[in-house]
Amino acid sequence: MAKALLALALWLCFSLPALAAAPKKPPTWAELTSEQQQTLAPLAADWDKLEAERKRKWLGIAKRYPKMKPDEQARVQRRMQAWAKLTPKERQTARENYKKMEKLPPDKKQGLTKQWEDYNRLPEQERRKLGSSPRKPPPPPLASKSPTEPASDAGAPTTAPPEASPASATPESAQPAAK
């Protein structure tokens, strides 16, 4: 009997800390406090579908939110709203891109940061224009077509004149693609 009690006591000593440390299930939307719901409002529709890890991250942001400056709070709200509008596929792509960025060497990160800052300095209309235009694949070399292959354009020649290069064939191809 004493051995059984000792075994039970030892088991409790070792298992209770493990049980206490076991991650508890994150709350459903209805279980959030009103302050958390107000902060995380853009995520309300998707909250109960989020993975536990994602919920914990958002809850961490909600916990820090009251201590943020008003401009930081506004930025968090804007980003949360933009995130909520993304499709699951777009969110996954964003996560993958973030992971790729984290693996880049510092000089490449700095170069991309500078490009992003340059892009953000553009007028809103120019940014919309760049963001909405799909990337065009580079045009195929015109001289590579066989003489018997029909032209893709009604009046276009099947071969390029010797002085024309693919890069100078159209003004669009000379411009870098928008990222």
Measure the CA–CA gap between 48 and 41, rounded to whole angstroms. 13
pLDDT at 71: 95
Give the residue among 67, 70, 68, 73 at the shortest CA–CA distance from 42: 73
Per residue in 50-67, pLDDT (tens digit) is 889 989 999 999 999 999
Measure the CA–CA gap between 9 and 142, rounded to whole angstroms. 83
pLDDT band at 163 (very low <50, low <70, confident <90, very high): very low
Q: What global pTM score does this model have? A: 0.50
pLDDT at 58: 93
Per residue in 123-155, pLDDT (tens digit) is 988 888 887 666 666 666 665 444 444 444 444
Mean per-residue pLDDT over the chain, rounded: 75
Task: Please compute the mean of the pLDDT values over residues 73-88 and round it to a whole number.
Answer: 91
Q: In whole angstroms, how far apart are CA 160 and each of 102, 119, 139, 145, 148?
A: 44, 36, 13, 9, 14
Measure the CA–CA gap between 74 and 67, rounded to whole angstroms. 13
DSSP annotation of 151:
P
Token reading at 122:
């553009």
